[in-house]
Amino acid sequence: MICPTLNGWTMKDILEKLDDRRAQARLGGGQVRIDAQHARGKLTARERIELLMDHGSFEEFDMFVQHRSTDFGMEKTKIPGDGVVTGWGTVNGRTVFVFAKDFTVFGGSLSETHAQKINKIQDMALKMRAPIIGLFDAGGARIQEGVAALGGYGEVFRRNVIASGVIPQISVILGPCAGGDVYSPAMTDFIFMVRDRSYMFVTGPDVVKTVTNETVTAEELGGAKVHTSKSSVADGAWDNDVEALLQVRRLIDFLPANNTDGAPHWPSFDTADRVDLSLDTLVPENPNKPYDMKELIQKTVDEGDFFEIQESFAKNILTGFGRMEGRTVGIVANQPMVLAGVLDSDASRKAARFVRFCDAFEIPIVTFVDVPGFLPGTAQEYGGLIKHGAKLLFAYGEASVPLITVITRKAFGGAYDVMASKHLGGDINFAWPTAQIAVMGAKGAVEIIFRSDIGDSDAIAAKTKDYEERFLSPFVAAERGYIDEVIMPHSTRRRIARGLAMLATKKPERPWKKHDNIPL
């Protein structure tokens, strides 16, 4: 049998040549650099994608793209792929687009063609209305390309903005990232990091030393601990690449593909009418004694599965995703275990951003309330508590998704209004019999109203008891229709599940506007 030829090459030769070129491209910067990556405890770009995607589902694009730079001898060093791996695949059967920076190729730095590869995948994700995940392990702009690299970043940033609120955008920081490689993640919906191996900063420790004379390590300047507990830049951190990528797979299961598909539905083995009698004794008899609000969340959502967002930041408020009857819901809850669940600037910002994400992607929001008010003090006021508190107020007020609120204990002052109250647009507002809804606690209120009786302890005690009976009972709010029903704590899951089912067709009408002007 005679083999067909093409310009002297047989088809077998051509296919072997393709295999060789693919193998070369898959090696990235070469085996020595791959070994160095592994020695740092990090996976390569392709290994990360393989872990993230369903087995065998990844389809790579632009494997053979190379940079076009001829400055500073760059024409002598060209590596297929140019430092980023791009393509699409599936996560539990759902289409997801991905790009992964390859640190073994020019340190993952961004060139003009590198940016064009990312732009292509961003455009495809937007056209297909599917989530996009960026895996970052990079050294910023490629210095040898100058403004061409900066222009490439600008194109990436613009697409981040256009896609915002249309498709979920997730960034996973798996190594050192600076400059443009932190600004793009900052515009995405969620950022996750790896402890002790990933860093985010606008300028690195050396530049900081030169400009401000501060001596600081990369970990101290922009490590996972800093960004998850202090700056709130990152939404979570894990110990290694494997755990981080598996948790991102878990998060994807909670998220809609886009802003019109609605929350995904997964089979659930939990019944909607499940009763948990332990909730009847969750709230202590002493109103000043804390309890763990996570217990209520886990006993309410399907199978106790709660994916917490920003767990290490502003711990006085909880945010995250759960499911009710198989469908995703966003959870916002005051945490009495930390600062008595008070609202401060950090908690307000954290919750406001989460509420706005849920609203953008049609995810219903369930709010559990136990809040004694806003945190007083000069530090809060000087730090802009008014504006930050208004962000949460604004976020709930503009939300058009189903809103269900459950007041478990305290709902005092302006914080009562802010936490998805009926007045702000709450669709169904429940209260437990232990709920206390008032301008402030009984003791503080009586001391203000009856200043002249301060010295008479018996009189103050009697007036305090009278105030509690008249104003702290949930039935006062229920009589005015501010609370739709006072419910048994053990029936919380059933009531929320039925409420969400009823609200599934909610279609509020709002006046036309180009966009709002949230108090940033």
Per-residue pLDDT of the chain in tens (520 residues, 90 and over written 9): 455 555 667 888 778 777 777 777 677 667 888 888 899 889 999 999 999 999 999 999 988 777 666 666 566 676 777 889 999 999 999 999 999 999 888 777 888 888 999 999 999 999 999 999 999 998 776 766 668 778 888 999 999 999 999 999 999 999 999 888 899 999 999 999 999 999 999 888 888 889 999 999 999 999 999 999 999 999 999 999 999 999 999 999 999 999 999 889 999 999 999 999 999 999 999 988 999 999 999 999 999 999 999 999 999 999 999 999 999 999 999 999 999 999 999 999 999 999 999 999 999 999 999 999 999 999 999 999 999 999 999 999 999 999 999 999 999 989 999 999 999 999 999 999 999 988 766 666 666 776 666 666 667 777 777 777 777 788 888 888 899 999 999 999 999 999 999 999 999 988 999 988 999 8
If we measure between CA atoms, which residue out of 388, 371, 421 comes closest to residue 232?
A: 388
Instruction: In whole angstroms, give the CA distance from residue 26 to residue 157.
Output: 27
Could you give the domains of the chain?
A: 43-254 (3.90.226.10), 277-435+483-505 (3.90.226.10)
Long-range CB pairs of 187-190, under 8 A, 24+ apart, other chains included: 187/157, 187/160, 187/161, 188/134, 188/160, 189/164, 189/357, 190/235, 190/236, 190/251, 190/309
Within 8 A by CB and 6+ apart from 437, the residues are 407, 411, 412, 416, 431, 471, 472, 474, 476, 477, 482, 483
Q: pLDDT (tens digit, 9 = 90+) per residue, 334-383?
A: 999 999 999 999 999 999 999 999 999 999 999 999 999 999 999 999 99
pTM score, whole prediction: 0.92
Active site residues: 179-180, 414-415
Q: Where are the alpha helices (DSSP H) in 291-409?
A: 293-300, 345-360, 378-382, 385-398
Assign 380 to helix, strand or coil: helix
Residue 339, pLDDT score: 96
Q: Are strands 199-201 and 176-178 parallel, antiparallel or unpaired?
A: parallel
Single-letter amino acid code for the residue at 515: H
DSSP secondary-structure letter at 54? P
Residue 74, pLDDT score: 61
